Amino acid sequence: MKNLIDGKWVDSSSGKTLDDLNPATGMKIDTFPAATKDDVSRAIDAAEGTFWKWNDLGSKERGRIIRKAGDLIQAKRKELEDLLVRECGKIRPQAQEEVNGVLDQIYYYAEFERKINGDLVEGDSSTRKIFQYKVPRGVVVALTPWNFPAAMVARKLAPALMTGNSVVLKPSSDTPLIAEWIVRKFQEAGIPDGVLNFVTGKGSEIGDFIVSHKKVALVTLTGSTGTGQRIIQQSSANMSKLMLELGGKAPFIVWNDADMEKALTTLVWAKFWNAGQSCIAAERLYIHEDIADKFEEKFISMTKGIKVGDPETAQMGPLINHDAQKNMENVIAESEKENLKILSGGRKPDLKGEFNKGFFFEPTLIDNVPQKSSIFQDEIFGPVLGIHRVNDWDETIKMANDSQFGLASYLFTEDNKRIYQASEAIRFGELYVNMPGPESSQGYHTGFRMTGLAGEGSKYGIGEYLQLKNVYVDYSRDKLKLGSIPGF
Ligand SMILES: NC(=O)C1=CN([C@@H]2O[C@H](COP(=O)(O)OP(=O)(O)OC[C@H]3O[C@@H](n4cnc5c(N)ncnc54)[C@H](OP(=O)(O)O)[C@@H]3O)[C@@H](O)[C@H]2O)C=CC1
Ligand SMILES: O=C(O)[C@H](O)CO
């Protein structure tokens, strides 16, 4: 593996590398460069130096190059799917689905070519005009996560580049190979040298340096709330624009008139998709007490039936690393401390052969979780779900909103009045009614409260990469009179 700096694939200037593991087996699959601050500086300098050249190409040509990257990815998509299985532990169908997502993002954002329009506004007289241009911000730093390591790279690169920004990408240290593979396709598609740079290394070592660098105009991160908070502090050095997509704690409300089969199937997806490692994952089930016994009985049986293991054949794969597996054990220890009942799962599965050392955890359900419990307040980010029975609508909405996070939420009911009420009252960036996610490219993926700042997707998301600039012009040729300074 190499880094891409100013169009050249290079090792770290220190020669140091880090290990890349397969989460299904715990075995090393590769090493990657531990970039130094000097490497990062050169990447940022290259991005700054090529910004105007890329901007001046025009959006039509940029769109062509981005679409070509999509075509190149499509042509070799199996390689990317294989990497998603091997480096991230995705089960095969979810690896395929993620590559579809990558292509969807790339082609969606390429459609904005020739559509980045500003406004022409009349000034304070008819001969005065204000040209409101939408201009790129400059150097974008993209920090991507490991949970959707290909889709998140595409979701940041395509709009940043489409709008004329130059980029330095630093991927998660758990999934650098996947990011490198995509960057190579963008380079092959014709992105000029220096416009897209790629550095790898521990966020804890080079992160502060990147985000506080004077030449950086925008930082976009998908990751943890702690990292987001640190970036807010560090980036104050140059007041960069921030796009932060952080933690989630999605409530999943099933009312007594819900289509039960639909709610059950969606909940299997919302909890166990990507082994629960998604920020839109259901983390709190609020089930109406009239239907709770039946719903729980069916859901426990569905949960117990989920096959965990080899990503090529199983229905749920491993967690990303040993720490993530340990976090699930801590959640279980906490629930035992609180005397909560584990309805299913709660342990590492006993897998045979090479998967024995993988970072797996059983799909787990915890009953009667109090609203104030850490199980209902802190992000779990794994295949563990807490259950709480409800009967009062207003109280349920209040509990759903009682979270520091505010990304996704789910509601199952056949009552239109409740749907409209929830659409107003639920204080989350996304509400999925009678359907699963994930978010669409044309939706605006954004969170309330400590889920972060700004958002991605749609014309609003692409707008975050642009800055509105105002040019005032007077074309009257009349003599100028300054009323505010007598005599002029
Ligand atoms: N919203 C979401 O979709 C995601 C949420 N999370 C949440 O975060 C938890 C921990 O996951 P983790 O991977 O540690 O998340 P992090 O927030 O640590 O990592 C996300 C990205 O930020 C980088 N990073 C880390 N520290 C810094 C820093 N100081 N400055 C700049 N960049 C930095 C990481 O690099 P590096 O890998 O080198 O540390 C990675 O590229 C998860 O369990 C989950 O709760 C995680 C991923 C995605
Ligand atoms: O945030 C996430 O986890 C991804 O956007 C998928 O929803």
Q: What is the mean pLDDT of residues 431-442?
A: 98
Query: What whole-number distance in Å separates Cα of residue 157 and Cα of residue 194?
Result: 14
227 touches ligand 1 (CB under 6 Å): yes
pLDDT at residue 76 is higher than 90: yes
Backbone angles phi, psi at 46, to 5 degrees: -65, -40
Query: What whole-number distance in Å separates Cα of residue 62 and Cα of residue 463?
Result: 16
Residue 333 — very low, low, confident or very high, per pLDDT cuts 50/70/90?
Answer: very high
Taking the CA of residue 201 as reference, the ligand 1 atom at the shortest distance is 38
Dihedral over alpha carbons 67, 220, 136, 130 (to 10 degrees): 130
Question: How far away, in angstroms, is 443 Cα from ligand 2 center?
Answer: 12
Question: How far away, in angstroms, is 227 Cα from ligand 1 center?
Answer: 6
**On the CB side of 441, how many CA atoms lie within 13 Å of its CA?**
21
pLDDT over 70 for what percent of the chain? Answer: 100
Which stretch of 396-400, 433-437, 481-485 has the lowest confidence by average pLDDT?
481-485
DSSP string spanning 19-68?
EEE-TTT--EEEEEE---HHHHHHHHHHHHHHHHHHHHH-HHHHHHHHHH
Residue 42 — very low, low, confident or very high, per pLDDT cuts 50/70/90?
Answer: very high
- Mean residue pLDDT of the chain comes to 98
**Residue among 51, 66, 133 at smallest CA distance from 102:** 66
Residues with CB under 6 A from ligand 2: 147-148, 245, 278-280, 437-439, 445
283 touches ligand 1 (CB under 6 Å): no
Ligand 1 atom 48 nearest Cα: 223
Q: Which of 16, 205, 224 to mutate to test the pocket of ligand 1 (most atoms within 8 A of CB)?
A: 224
Q: Quick one: pLDDT at residue 481?
A: 87
Q: Which of 439, 444, 446 to mutate to test the pocket of ligand 2 (most atoms within 8 A of CB)?
A: 439
Q: Quick one: pLDDT at residue 482?
A: 92
Q: Which of 278, 410, 444, 451 to mutate to test the pocket of ligand 2 (most atoms within 8 A of CB)?
A: 278
279 touches ligand 1 (CB under 6 Å): yes
Question: How far away, in angstroms, is 278 Cα from ligand 2 center?
Answer: 5
Residues marked as catalytic = 245
Give the closest ligand to the alpha carbon of residue 144: 1
Give the type of residue at 349. P
Query: What whole-number distance in Å separates Cα of residue 278 and Cα of residue 30?
Result: 25
448-476 residue pLDDT tens: 999 999 999 999 999 999 999 999 999 99
Give the type of residue at 26. G
Q: Are 258 and 412 in contact (CB under 8 A)?
A: yes
pLDDT at residue 329 is higher than 90: yes
Question: How far away, in angstroms, is 120 Cα from ligand 1 center?
Answer: 41
Question: How far away, in angstroms, is 338 Cα from ligand 2 center?
Answer: 30
pLDDT at residue 136 is higher than 90: yes
Question: How far away, in angstroms, is 93 Cα from ligand 1 center?
Answer: 25
379 touches ligand 1 (CB under 6 Å): yes
178-206 residue pLDDT tens: 999 999 999 999 999 999 999 999 999 99
Give the closest ligand to the alpha carbon of residue 455: 2
Q: What is the mean pLDDT of residues 122-146?
A: 97
Query: What whole-number distance in Å separates Cα of residue 209 and Cα of residue 329?
Result: 34
Q: Which domains does the chain show, CATH number per domain?
A: 3-246+451-472 (3.40.605.10), 250-433 (3.40.309.10)
* pTM as predicted: 0.98
Question: What's the complex ipTM?
Answer: 0.97
172 touches ligand 1 (CB under 6 Å): yes
Question: How far away, in angstroms, is 409 Cα from ligand 1 center?
Answer: 22
Taking the CA of residue 407 as reference, the ligand 1 atom at the shortest distance is 1
Give the closest ligand to the alpha carbon of residue 456: 2
Q: Which two tokens stand for residue 340?
A: 């909560």
Q: Quick one: pLDDT at residue 134?
A: 96
**On the CB side of 308, how many CA atoms lie within 13 Å of its CA?**
26
